[in-house]
Structure 1
Amino acid sequence: MATPKPTAATRAGAVLAAACLLLAAWLVVAPKRAAALDPFTGYLMAHFTGESSTGQQIHLAHSKDGLRWTDLNGGAPVLRTTVGTRGVRDPALVRSPAGDRYWIIATDLCIGCGQDWATAIGNGSRNLVVWESTDLVNWSAPWLLNVAGAIPDGRNAWAPEAIWNPATNDYLLYWATNVPQNGTTKHRIYAARTTDFRTITTPQRYIDRPGTQEIIDTQIVEVPAGLGSYRYVRASGDGQITLEGSNTITGTWTTVGNLSGIGLTGRQVEGPMWMKFHDRNQWALYLDQYSSGRGYMPVTTTAPATPSTYQITASGSYDMGGTRKRHGSILNLTAAEESRVLSRWQPTPAGSRIQSYNFTDRYVRHVNYDVRIDPDVSPAQDAQFRVVPGLANSSGYVSFESVNFPGHFLRHSNYDFVLAANDNSATFRADATFRQVTGLASSSWVSFQSYNHPDRYIRHYNYLLRLDPITDAAGRADATFRVTG
């Protein structure tokens, strides 16, 4: 039996049906177009803190003015990766144009957690770690996104960033990969397009510097139309902190200068992180002082494409909070977003003091890295500590981090106490971890039992802090404290 030929009407119907199917599919996968968000009222920073299994996770901090930051969740991680290397660095916070979806994308890297720098550079993870949320507080399980596997001989994937590109109606995802090309092996910036951070287009080389000069960290900020000559400005760590401008994200970029004029080069700072103040046309470019180990500092400007307008912020005019903040990103928050975030992860107090039970006018303090109990401590921050989850065991244990020396913790060494920088060794973490128990001299106070010497407790003796077995009433009084505001 012959197959009847389609009529013009049936052909038109088939074309219409196919078009409807294509449109329906596009509506399902295509991101929503940009919507006018509610006014911004605060700022959220995602960051990591340093080379430890806890430090190389997702940490959050909050600010009302963009310059004074408070750690959320007591300074402990808010998200921990369970995939890849089990560590993350360089997180980027991404909001959808409609403000109804968020992503965190991060480097899959954990130095000191089974990896060293040589391996991470020459044969590291080609993946990024991604989380997704619809409200900034409830996050999906993390997944791995392979971004460098399609780059011939690509050896890692570091420092990811993403920006919405209205010209293509998707995100430009960009990162650094170490790859040999043209006789030189170095980090270059690669980019791909994505709508969902689960699949990407074929990566293309995005930024390359001449000769052997590497480029690892770069971040783009959009500038309001009419303010300066460029719609987009990017800051890159490439031996300098180089500033470039362009009117299209994927078009030609023009170098406008660097920050050497204010004494900042890529040998001192890295991890450029943009923030737009929501109440004025001013920007902060946060820079990670990696060479001195001091974390982020803000440089401000009213014209991102004009290097002569940049100014280093005076040290007393900003406060980075209790933890050292390293390469991350900042998201301006609406009032609703800010309320959800603060309700979920309350800010930690500025610092706690540890008061002696039998010398109530004296508090634990550090002086020249030694630890003792003293009255009338000056400066007051020498007697202020952040009580954070235990470095060796976060379940039921605590550690004491100095407020004015972030990254330094109280630890015992030969049963004497010192304030020391966390070297992330197993010995350090154990020496700096304690179980808070009912006070040995009073049940309304507390005592601190050593994690790795459970027969010993923190106590003072001749006003110096020690770790001792407690065998008598005097020892019980010396080993009893109160944590106060």
Structure 2
Amino acid sequence: MSRILTRLAAVLATAGLLFSTWSAATPKQAAALDPFTGYLMAHFTGESATGQQIHLAHSEDGLRWTDLNNGGLVLRSTVGTRGVRDPALVRSPAGDRYWIIATDLCIGCGQDWNDAQNNGSRNLVVWESADLVTWSAPWLLNVAGTIPDGRNAWAPEAIWNPATGDYVLYWATKATLNGVFKHRVYHARTTNFRSITTPQVYIDRGGSQETIDTQIVEVPAGVGNHRYVRASRDDQITIEGSDSVLGPWTRLGDLAAIGLTGAQVEGPMWLRFNNRDEWTLYLDQYASGRGYLPVLTVNPSSPGSYRIPASGSYHLGGTRKRHGSILNLTAAEQNRVLARWRGTAVNRIQAYSHQDRYVRHADYDVRLDANVSPEQDAQFRLVPGLTGGAGTISFQSVNFPNHYLRHYGFDFRLDAHDGTTTFAEDASFRQVAGLANSSWVSFRSVNYPDRHIRHNNFLLRLDLISDARGRDDATFRLTS
């Protein structure tokens, strides 16, 4: 009897340990959040080393967006392919923890689309935060490694499932199933985005039809006939409804009636307006390269209610918004985010040798002028250098926010950022003590460190500085 009791005590102790471990990993019970007052969008901007990183935008009304951090990246992946796309913002039910999960993919950074589809990363990239401002180092979460013949992991999303008390994480993987090799959407459960249950097929349209992008929104009681609505990109933008996150799902229709199909748009991204029961389904116009388009509805489960608003009623900011997600913000969250990422000050660049003149762009050429009109032509933001190098800066135009001062053949012009490494290097500088007056500043080139920005007959150049006149012409002051 004593031996049986000893074994029983050991079993109970082990069970207690397992229970306590599971409880510690399980998110807190959902708490009532403060009223929402704004919106935060996480997105990427395009196929470049800086574009395929985490970018943020803010909106007060859900339709007019302002780029945070002056349109520059806010988080850079240092793991996997060192590039990320398709970020999803996830808040814990208690509102005390946040995650960003993203595709581990960097097109043009040593990998092309064929490689990415057929032998890509099986991982997702994850960051964690307690305040939406300070983020952990990124880590890799292997989600497709156990899928037979799984070749990649794309377009992740996650939603809290109250029925199981954890998150349903879902993404697309290209794999062979029943003899058909294609992208399907898989799902798994997780409590912490560090480990997952065995992946299961979530969406398989049958035949050769692929499904890659999908996002779920929870709808309040009294709106439509389903608690959850799912928008997916296959050959259409397919709308489905269910009363359970894990299904079964009922096809409700698509958006072909308003001229939007899977051949034109992708990356569905839901937003529920804070002050009313109305939703926007943002769709990435990938075929035309125009970024997100909002589609409005008062009933997500009724495809016939969707409509495209007038073009002047929305604005997506200065950068192209690609496949991402939106988080409704409380006032406290919004204040923290804006305090950290709203942007840098607007500066003018005053010449030391002609102190009535300022650096300005005119027809994309760059020179010194007095009495600049319009005044925004002489206004710039000093943002982190496009190369990502510590201590480097770039000059971002105020009135053309995707344009930067860059040298080209040692002449200067204002050009749109094309995402190339060459552009990033040509547009990145180090601020040093003024060559003619140490209380002013000079700017040394990153890729030609023996050359500085200077004006010559009022035209901006990148030159070797060897005499007193050159030192005068290469010295400037930043003014408001």
TM-score of the aligned structures, taking structure 1 as reference length: 0.86
Q: Provide structure 1 residue ranges, at least 5 long, that are not aligned to the other structure.
A: none
For residue 24 of structure 2, give the secondary structure of its aligned residue in structure 1: helix
1:102-113 matched pairs, under 5 angstroms:
102-113=98-109
Residues in 1 aligned to 2:252 and 2:317: alpha-carbon distance in whole angstroms: 33
Query: Quick check: 2:69–2:344 contact (8 Å CA) kept in 1?
Result: no
Match of 1:199 among 188, 195, 198: 195
Give 1:415 deviation, angstroms: 1.7
Q: 1:284 to 1:459 in 2, by over 3 A?
A: farther
Question: Residue type matched to 1:237 in 2?
Answer: R
Give the aligned partner of residue 231 of structure 2.
235
Match of 2:93 among 94, 97, 106: 97
Structure 1 range deviating more: 270-279 or 392-401: 392-401
Query: Quick check: 1:440–1:480 contact (8 Å CA) kept in 2?
Result: yes
Give the aligned partner of residue 469 of structure 1.
464
For residue 329 of structure 2, give the secondary structure of its aligned residue in structure 1: strand
Residues in 2 aligned to 1:185 and 1:13: alpha-carbon distance in whole angstroms: 51
Question: Residue type matched to 2:212 in 1?
Answer: I
1:52-63 matched pairs, under 5 angstroms:
52-63=48-59
1:105-161: CA deviation from partner (whole Å, max 9, x where unpaired)? 111122233322221111011111222233333333322211111111010001100
For residue 312 of structure 1, give the secondary structure of its aligned residue in structure 2: coil
Give the aligned partner of residue 432 of structure 2.
437
Give 1:282 deviation, angstroms: 2.0
1:240-287: CA deviation from partner (whole Å, max 9, x where unpaired)? 333222222222323333334444443443222112221222222223
Give the aligned partner of residue 33 of structure 1.
29
Give the aligned partner of residue 221 of structure 1.
217
1:129-148 matched pairs, under 5 angstroms:
129-148=125-144
Residues in 1 aligned to 2:95 and 2:127: alpha-carbon distance in whole angstroms: 16
Give 1:311 deviation, angstroms: 3.8
Residues in 1 aligned to 2:439 and 2:61: alpha-carbon distance in whole angstroms: 39
Structure 1 range deviating more: 125-134 or 284-293: 284-293
Q: 1:376 to 1:406 in 2, by over 3 A?
A: closer
Query: Quick check: 1:322–1:403 contact (8 Å CA) kept in 2?
Result: no
Residues in 1 aligned to 2:294 and 2:401: alpha-carbon distance in whole angstroms: 17
Query: Quick check: 2:456–2:473 contact (8 Å CA) kept in 1?
Result: yes
Residues in 1 aligned to 2:58 and 2:32: alpha-carbon distance in whole angstroms: 23
Q: Provide structure 2 residue ranges, at least 5 long, that are not aligned to the other structure.
A: none
Match of 1:428 among 423, 428, 431: 423
Q: 1:416 to 1:257 in 2, by over 3 A?
A: farther
Match of 2:450 among 443, 450, 455: 455
Give 1:419 deviation, angstroms: 3.4
Residues in 2 aligned to 1:227 and 1:333: alpha-carbon distance in whole angstroms: 22
Query: Quick check: 1:365–1:377 contact (8 Å CA) kept in 2?
Result: no
Give the aligned partner of residue 276 of structure 1.
272
RMSD: 3.3
Query: Quick check: 1:366–1:383 contact (8 Å CA) kept in 2?
Result: no
Structure 1 range deviating more: 259-268 or 329-338: 259-268
Query: Quick check: 2:71–2:401 contact (8 Å CA) kept in 1?
Result: no
Query: Quick check: 2:88–2:325 contact (8 Å CA) kept in 1?
Result: yes
Give 1:83 deviation, angstroms: 2.4
Give 1:197 deviation, angstroms: 1.6
Question: Residue type matched to 2:396 in 1?
Answer: E
Say how many residue pairs are matched. 478
Query: Quick check: 2:358–2:378 contact (8 Å CA) kept in 1?
Result: no
Residues in 2 aligned to 1:53 and 1:363: alpha-carbon distance in whole angstroms: 29
Residues in 2 aligned to 1:382 and 1:296: alpha-carbon distance in whole angstroms: 28
Whether 1:400 and 2:398 are equivalent positions in the alignment is: no
Give 1:94 deviation, angstroms: 1.0
Residues in 1 aligned to 2:218 and 2:345: alpha-carbon distance in whole angstroms: 33
For residue 37 of structure 1, give the secondary structure of its aligned residue in structure 2: coil
Structure 1 range deviating more: 172-181 or 441-450: 441-450
Query: Quick check: 1:274–1:283 contact (8 Å CA) kept in 2?
Result: yes
Question: Residue type matched to 2:244 in 1?
Answer: T
Q: 1:479 to 1:127 in 2, by over 3 A?
A: same
Give the aligned partner of residue 412 of structure 2.
417
Q: 1:136 to 1:145 in 2, by over 3 A?
A: same
Match of 2:169 among 166, 169, 173: 173
Structure 1 range deviating more: 138-147 or 472-481: 472-481
Query: Quick check: 1:456–1:467 contact (8 Å CA) kept in 2?
Result: yes
Residues in 2 aligned to 1:457 and 1:15: alpha-carbon distance in whole angstroms: 73
Query: Quick check: 1:355–1:364 contact (8 Å CA) kept in 2?
Result: no
Residues in 2 aligned to 1:167 and 1:293: alpha-carbon distance in whole angstroms: 39
